[in-house]
Amino acid sequence: MTIEFAIAIIFAIVLVASPILLAGLGELVVEKAGVLNLGVEGMMLIGAVTGFAVTSSFGSPWLGTLAAAMAGATASMIFGFLTLTLAANQVATGLALTIFGGGFSALAGKAFLGKTVPAFTQLFPSPLATDPIWRVVFGYSPLVYFSLAMCIGVAWFLKSTRAGLILRAVGENDLSAHSIGYSVTGVRYAAVAFGGAMAGIAGSMFSLVLTPIWAEGLTAGRGWIALALVVFAAWKPYRLLVGAYLFGAVMTLEVHAKAAGGVFSALPSELWAALPYLMTIIVLVIISLRRSGNSVAPACLGKPFLPTI
């Protein structure tokens, strides 16, 4: 195995891992605040089509990504209004958001079928970013560096800031947080909007970085992988980072094993496709064995909050 080939594999892993890391970080914050938003896939699709449409119309992928974040956040506000203000069932509403996102993005994307935009690659200038060796550090899209920065940012926010403590309190014990005067609903709205924006950016990574095209159902279920990832990571940002790269490695290994032939290619492709979910189930089993019944999930996850006073 040559060094260039190893770098090509690392490069591929990073590209696959980054969007699920972005979406997973958003969902992690949402779930830490006690809300379960299963609409990640739908928000990603809305982000993907918005990012593509804006980039195609105005020529700026930066603007496209910003628009994708805003579109994702807007979509998440529909979910927020239904589940936080009207206290609708979070699971059902999240699933509805996924279906809505699929349909809406298909409709909005009709005019953009068959078009391409320049790929949103390379933050750093060309000799550095295209160097066969150094591209492993400097050759990525700005969104890759953004995903890593956000991981550090979210970890710091949750662990070391007062606002992060309040957010965790809201997710662990909504009544206590409410009784000492914090707005549970307000905090959750903010978390849901953040999750939507991150899912939107993750979606735009598909339509601007990985495959700069628009096609219906472009994200092909990656939103569900991001949801599984949050559980896999036991709601810890750095473990989420490791998990995203592990999932990315599995998915990259799959395509390379198939291209190379040999031992790994003996595994059926259905098994490869199921691996991320299998890994999540195994981790869940390990967690529950270790904690002997105590859940690591935020205590108020998925529970509607209706203050009586």
Partner 1 sequence: MTIATRRTILKGGLALAALPVLPGLAFGQEKLKVGFAYLAVPGDFGWTYAHDQGANDLAKALGDKVEVTKVENVGEAGPNVERVLRELAQQGHKLIFATTFGHMEAAVKVSAEFPDVIFEHCTGYMTGPNLGTYNARFYEGRAVIGTIAGHMSKKGVAGYIASFPIPEVVMGMNAFVIAARKVNPAFVLKAAYLSTWFDPAKEGAQAQAFIDQGCDFITQHTDSPAPVELCERLGVPCFGQASDMSAFGPTQCLTSIVDNWGPHYIKTAEAVIAGTWAPAQPWDGLKDGGLVITPYNATVPADVQAAADVVKNGQIDGSFHIFTGPLKDKDGAEFVAAGVTPDDGFLLGMQTYVEGIEVIQ
**Closest CB to partner 1 among residues 48, 169:** 48
**Closest CB to partner 1 among residues 98, 219:** 219
Which one among 180, 259, 263, 309 touches partner 1, defined by CB under 8 A? 259
Which one among 71, 252, 300, 305 touches partner 1, defined by CB under 8 A? 252
**Closest CB to partner 1 among residues 242, 274:** 274
**Residue 21 near residue 240, CB atoms below 8 Å:** yes
Cross-strand partners of 116: 213
41 Cβ contact partners less than 8 Å away, ≥ 6 residues apart:
98, 101, 102, 219, 221, 222, 223, 224
Residue identified by tokens 């307000």 is 186
Per-residue interface string for the shown chain with partner 1, residues 39-58, x marking contact by CB under 8 A: --------------------
Q: How many residues belong to the site for partner 1 (CB under 8 A)?
A: 42
Residue identified by tokens 């569900």 is 224
Contact between 1 and partner 1 (CB under 8 A)? no
Which one among 255, 282, 285, 299 touches partner 1, defined by CB under 8 A? 255
Contact between 269 and partner 1 (CB under 8 A)? yes
Which one among 12, 129, 234, 250 touches partner 1, defined by CB under 8 A? 12
Closest contact distance (angstroms) between CB of 18 and partner 1 is 11
Closest contact distance (angstroms) between CB of 137 and partner 1 is 18
Cross-strand partners of 261: none
CA distance 102 to 104: 6
Closest contact distance (angstroms) between CB of 58 and partner 1 is 20
**Residue 13 near residue 250, CB atoms below 8 Å:** no
Kindly tell me the number of DSSP H helices and DSSP E strands found in the chain. 13, 0
Per-residue interface string for the shown chain with partner 1, residues 108-137, x marking contact by CB under 8 A: -xx--xxxx--x------------------
298 Cβ contact partners less than 8 Å away, ≥ 6 residues apart:
31, 32, 33, 34, 168, 171, 172, 235
235 Cβ contact partners less than 8 Å away, ≥ 6 residues apart:
28, 31, 32, 296, 297, 298
How big is the CA angle at 24 (ends 34 and 246), to the nearest 5 degrees?
135
Which one among 29, 33, 251, 300 touches partner 1, defined by CB under 8 A? 251
CA distance 289 to 125: 50
**Closest CB to partner 1 among residues 83, 219:** 219
CA distance 31 to 235: 8
Closest contact distance (angstroms) between CB of 289 and partner 1 is 31
Per-residue interface string for the shown chain with partner 1, residues 211-250, x marking contact by CB under 8 A: xxx-xxxxxxxx----------------------------
Summarize as ranges the residues that interact with partner 1 (CB under 8 A).
5, 8-9, 12, 15-16, 106, 109-110, 113-116, 119, 206, 210-213, 215-222, 251-252, 255-256, 258-261, 265-266, 268-270, 272-273
